Amino acid sequence: MNICVVGTGYVGLVTGAVFADLGNDVTCVDRDKAKIDSLKRGIMPIYEPGLEEMVKRNVDDGRLSFSTKLEEAVRRSEIIFIAVGTPPKANGETDLSAVEEVALGIARALDRYKVIVNKSTVPVGTGDLVREIIDRNKRRQIDFDVVSNPEFLREGSAIEDTLRPDRIVIGAPTQHVAMTLLELYAPLERPMIITDVHSAEMIKYASNAFLATKISFINAVANLCEQAGADVTHVIKGMGMDARIGPSFLQAGLGYGGSCFPKDTDSLIHTAAKLDYDFKLLRAVVTINRERSQRFVQIIQNALSPLSDKVIAVLGLAFKPNTDDMRDAKSLEVISDLVKAGATVRAYDPVAVANAKPLLPPGIVYTHSAYEAAEGADGLAIVTEWNEFRFLNMERVKQAMRRPIIFDGRNIYEPERIRRLGFAYHSIGRRPVVPS
């Protein structure tokens, strides 16, 4: 099939590359000329394992191309995926201006029947909005259909999630239209759910909101464990073995961040309010999440106060491992609060430093390794659970630090092992331990 994907962010670029890899002819379109020029030179705008190799392979084979010319790409395609950003407004409402702009461009280029697919995360009713814009602005009486096909990608494993998703959701106005998407996705041989457009739009938001709820719930339980002297990791294991609950997204830590959960929970709360429903449960989820970084910094202050003469090594800046994405990263909150308290911060991340620098306060010392960050530090804070941090030479870390104290915001270490190595250790939902 000839496919047009509008937007070259995480969703658009990965979607385009995978469809090309499946044998389709794909044009990825973006209005950002600099980004398109970089992609044509093989330079990726994002860090995602395996993406650069997949893009290069399909560009070399002639199945994947990049362009700033939307109308030209639309005319060449049978299916148009809208995969542009839908950031939050200040009030939590989803900003649909980019979606509206693309819909207008599609309307002007419509020359024969097309299937327009909303891949962006959008509130219920956006499919109707896209249809209305195209209907109102199309230059000829040509039929088209609008479909909802939400993505469920996790940054850091986006290619794997696209090739082997748990399910493919297709919200279509008719069975006939749904078959077009079924045919496109058939090579993946994954479970598919066909529903109406409104339900498909809701599935995306409800899924992310539920996962955010699991994260906030276990973090609230972690707070109780700290007060009661229980170990949240044992609680998680006991809960997760229940098939009705499961272990996924049941890790205590600094809370959720990134490009999806924060904005999607806020958007669903806003959508509920527009429909005269007060989503109290979800508002509590957001409140609990907002408190996580403050609580972590308070643990550091309690152990090292005052911070005005202290050096804190912060390991991990990206919102999660295997990505350079800094959107709603917990490091932004943790480091800002540490700096406000007077601490000197030495920070390290394997890939996200360039993206982090413009967002963090001045005066941060950026290092080239975890060991360099630990040099002369009074405390070491784990903020992102990169795998390399799990396998550090802890003797070398201890020798580098001024005081061997670890504050583990992701519970990546086993407390007794760290204690035996000579560290004081503070984690989430577990008793602090001190060396003998």
Catalytic residues: 260
Instruction: Specify the 3-state DSSP secondary structure of 311.
Output: strand
Q: 16 and 80 in contact (C-beta within 8 Å)?
A: no
Rounded Cα distance between 170 and 193, Å, is 6
Sequential DSSP letters for 41-80: TT--SS--TTHHHHHHHHHHTTSEEEES-HHHHHHH-SEE
Give Cα 248 to chain centroid, integer Å.
16
Q: Give the pair of three-digit tokens for residue 392.
A: 């550090």
Q: Give the pair of three-digit tokens for residue 206.
A: 């409800």
Sequential DSSP letters for 277-304: ---HHHHHHHHHHHHHHHHHHHHHHHHH
C-alpha distances (whole Å) from 232 to each of 227, 254, 279 are 11, 14, 28
Cβ-based burial of 42 (10 A; exposed 0-12, middle 13-18, buried ≥19): exposed
Rounded Cα distance between 381 and 300, Å, is 8
Q: 430 and 417 in contact (C-beta within 8 Å)?
A: no
Contacts of 299 (CB under 8 A, 6+ apart): 407, 426
Phi/psi for 404 (5° steps) reads: -85, 80
Q: 209 and 279 in contact (C-beta within 8 Å)?
A: no
Sign of CA dihedral 259, 187, 113, 32: positive
Rounded Cα distance between 59 and 61, Å, is 5
Q: 331 and 314 in contact (C-beta within 8 Å)?
A: yes
